[in-house]
Amino acid sequence: MIEVTDRHVDRREALARIALLLGATALPADAMAKALQGRAPSLPSGQFALLSAVADTVLPATDTPGALAAKVPQRLDAMLAHWAAPTTRDAILAGLQRIDAAARTATGKGFAKLNAKQRETVLRAHDAAALAKAGTTTTTGKFPFTATVAVADAGYLQLKSLIVDLYYYSPEAAATELIYEHVPGPFEPSIKLTAQSRPYLGVGPF
Amino acid sequence: MFDAIVIGSGMSGGISAKELCERGLKVLLLERGRKVEHVTDYNDTQMPWELPNNNAIPEEELARDYPVQGQCYAVNAATKQFWVKDSEHPYLTPEERPFTWIRGYHLGGRSIMWGRQSYRLSPMDFEANAKDGHGVDWPIRYDDLAPWYSHVEKFIGVAGSKENLPQLPDGEFLPAWEMNDAEKLFKVSVEQKFPGRKVIIGRNANLSQAQPHHEELGRTSCQNRSICERGCSFGANHSSLSSSLPAAERTGNLTTVTDAIVHSLVQDPKTGRITSVRVIDAKTMEGKTYEAKVFFLNASTIGTAQILLNSISEANPRGLCNKSDQVGRNIMDHMYALSTIGVMPDYPKDSYYRGRRPTGIYIPRYRNVTEEGGDYVRGYGYQGAVIRRGGMPDAATPGLGQDIKQRGREFGPWIAYISGFGEMLPNPENRMTQDAVRKDKWGIPLLNISVDFSENERKMAKQILTDGRAMIEGAGGMVISQATKPGAPGLGIHEMGTARMGRDPMTSVFNGYNQAHEAPNLFCTDGAAMTSSGCQNPSLTYMALSARAAHHAAEWLKEGKL
């Protein structure tokens, strides 16, 4: 059994909880964020500030919440501490550091010290160069869609992928950008798309 | 003393136990893994962001403890508890003939995480060995099993459409899931371009519409979540925990013991009867013996053969019921991961669907049925889907901020993917043996499992990919990705054949009632008993064989024949 990071979920209430979710369109409170509040990041403060600045630039608040509201820096920090092997962690942090280096080369200041507009300018240039295709893309048989794209800066791609994934798998993004239904109910095989339609966030193999 | 002992609580053992209990037998069910509770032990209520590490298993833990299991698509943080730690349950496999052994040791076994696709074998599958001479003849024919397929389908609940295809007999179906608009178009296009081929909705053991006998067991209709492999708190998919074991328990005849690793069976050399089973407590290492009148082996294909091989006595120096030397041989899986993926640019742009349907589309076998197979025997089917995977934008495409969000909001083109499942022939050289030296921590010899595809399979794999491309393109698609070879044997998780049924005791282990040729009160109804593999997902057949054998065993016991 998984220990939920936020709180102890009473398993005996599992069915009752599902019943509550049935038909519920609003998403439950952001329990994860609550748990993350007050927890010191594992990264040194300078690096965490850099990570936050990058996440905020990759997915800023627009007409919808951004990466900061979705607690992406805190959740990514937790993954670096609890999920990543040392080589992965080093690669991601090196990718992060190269953004800072690019900022210093371009402006003489660290990335986190720049204003939003400057950050965007620096990261846009860096993003384009870092994601230049290098070598061949490999796919694995694990999922039909699992592809490893070879790019100039693999550490940066991994960093950006985690920022994007964690953002979309957040209550904030699922309530505004996409739709996540934990308990969809009956399958509807044909829906007419309108200008208001939003894609569903997938989970699991289908 | 029990009337019957069932070894293994997974897909087939659950049904064996249920059927024996319902016929009034006092049954002891032995499970080598830990106890797992339906609903309370599942991770299916968490929202995606409530799962640790975005539902990924920590990389070092994955590499250390799950190097084999981690190759399976269904392994993630939410399901981690249902896969063995390879580090705790090692086996040996040669580098050039590797077997990928995917398994779960806990009450309910792989019936919790299974893919739920449920297809009958057909008359031609039961006749195949006799016709082309591979392996030995099945001792039964389709008609022997047909009523038991019906019996099991009704009980577990299989959703499907009636198609009237000789190579894929219809069953007792709940209402089928519907195809989306793109799949309907794909079906029409493929069926027009390739007369004789059919695209049908996948037949799956999820309750599209729970019936009263399902609801009596606490099962309800499927909610289209498609996180079935985490265990379903709705009991909407069939598993031992949701379905067969509750049915067995309500008879009052079931005793379940978990953490009970079967070491071996004991045979009376005079009568040939099995008298008892030797068990090691997984936690305390304490040895125990249980006696019964009838024994059912449902320990899974590899596990069952391991018990037979480890049941060594003076009379049986190479293992129990192994005069034929077929125990541990003829391992078959289905060729797997032979996928072709294409975009369908002209498919309806204004159409979408809602819900995560717990099945896909299925293309039943047509090679050596309606179309020649060329230079190989048998055939293959495809599983797949046509989906519109909007949503999660690709991080590898340059862009920031609003660019990413905009891409996330857009509906992309339809994507079709079909993945072949190819029949493997029984080959005695594909086998498992006990290592002479190395043992697990319970003192049971480690297994050495050595499997490879033969020429027939290699030719078939090529054709699976050629046909896959032709069908995607024929249906208006552009292929964007295609596998080049099947996954390692075992990855299909359809391993079978290690103690096959047959007519001749010199070439097979179990007879047409799944009764051991050499031990009248020993039955085996898991994948080990399979004489050939067909190309259909096999669990339904194991369950039908279990129900049928349990029926006969109970009858014979009543009549004093056992």
Answer whether A171's CB lies under 8 Å from A27's CB: yes
In A89-118, the residues whose Cβ lies within 8 Å of chain B are none
Lowest average pLDDT, out of A194-203, B240-249, B472-481, goes to A194-203
- B339 vs B100: CA distance, rounded Å: 19
Which residue's structure tokens are 């078939």? B460
Which among A167, A196, A103 has a CA at the least distance from the CA of B401? A167
Does residue B497 carry a pLDDT above 70?
yes
pLDDT of residue B257: 98
Is the pLDDT confidence value at A205 over 90? no
Task: Please report whether residue B245 resides in a domain.
Answer: yes
What gap in Å lies between CA B278 and CA B262, rounded to an integer? Answer: 6
Q: How much is the pTM?
A: 0.94
The helix/strand count (H/E) of chain B reads as: 11, 19
Q: Give the ipTM.
A: 0.93
Q: Same domain for B323 and B307?
A: yes
- Structure-token pair, residue B526: 């898991």
Helix (H) or strand (E) holding B460: helix B455-474
Q: Do B229 and A204 touch (CB under 8 A)?
A: yes
pLDDT category at A140 given cuts 50, 70, 90 is low
Structure tokens at B548: 């049928």
Q: What is the DSSP string of B99-138?
A: -------BTTGGGTT---B-----HHHHHHHHHH-SS---
User: Cα separation of B516 and B523, whole Å?
Assistant: 6
CB A179 within 8 A of CB A199: yes
The percentage of chain B sitting over the pLDDT mark of 90, rounded to a whole number, equals 98
* Confidence band, pLDDT 50/70/90 cuts, at residue B86: very high
Model confidence pLDDT, tens digit, residues A78-107: 999 999 999 999 999 999 999 999 999 999
Positive/negative CA dihedral, B395, B398, B402, B403:
negative
Residue B395 to residue A88, Cβ atoms within 8 A: no
Chain A residue closest in CA terms to B228: A204
- What's the number of domains chain B is made of? 2
SS3 label, residue B340: strand
Same domain, B445 and B545: yes
Band of the pLDDT at A139, cuts 50, 70, 90? Answer: low
- The residue segments making up the domain with residue B194 are 158-236+335-422+453-488
What amino acid is encoded at B394 in this protein? Answer: D
Q: Tell me if B400 and A120 make a contact (CB, 8 A cut-off).
A: yes
Average pLDDT over residues B302-324: 97
Q: Do A2 and B46 touch (CB under 8 A)?
A: yes
Instruction: Tell me the per-residue pLDDT of A3-56, one tens digit each, with 9 for 90 and over.
Output: 333 333 333 333 333 333 333 333 333 444 444 455 789 999 999 999 999 999
Residue B223 lies in a domain: yes
pLDDT attached to residue B254: 98
Higher per-residue confidence, A16 vs B421: B421
More confident: B93 or A1 = B93
Check whether residue B538 and residue B460 sit in a common domain. no
Q: Does some domain include residue B273?
A: yes
Range list of β-strands (E), A107-179 = 138-139, 147-148
Q: CA–CA separation, B251 vs A42, rounded Å?
A: 55
How confident is the model at residue A29, as a pLDDT? 36
Is the distance from CB of A133 to CB of A150 less than 8 angstroms? yes
Chain A residues 18-77 with a CB less than 8 Å from chain B: 18, 21-22, 27-28, 30-32, 57-60, 62, 64, 75
- Clarify whether residues B246 and B227 are in a common domain: no
Do B466 and B356 lie in one domain? The reply is yes
Average pLDDT, chain B: 97
The answer to whether A124 contacts chain B (CB < 8 Å) is: yes
What tokens were used for A147? Answer: 């592809």
CA pair distance B29, B342, nearest whole angstrom: 47
Question: Token pair of A124, please?
Answer: 């846009």
Is B176 in the same domain as B274? Answer: no
Dihedral through CA A164, CA A168, CA A169, CA A175, nearest 10? Answer: 160
- B256 vs B562, which has greater pLDDT? B256
Q: What is the CATH number of the domain that holds B146?
A: 3.50.50.60
Same-domain pairing of B295 and B205: no
Q: How confident is the model at residue B221 (pLDDT cuts 50, 70, 90)?
A: very high
B373 in the same domain as B311? no
Domain assignments of chain A as residue spans, ordered by start: 30-176
Q: What is the pLDDT of residue A6?
A: 32
CA–CA dist B117, A144 (Å, integer): 18
List the single residue in A2, A131, A178 with the smallest CB-CB distance to B396: A131
Please give the Cα distance from A34 to B292 (Å, whole number): 56
Q: In whole angstroms, what is the distance from residue B453 CA to residue B438 CA?
A: 27
* Whether B30 contacts B23, CB under 8 Å: no
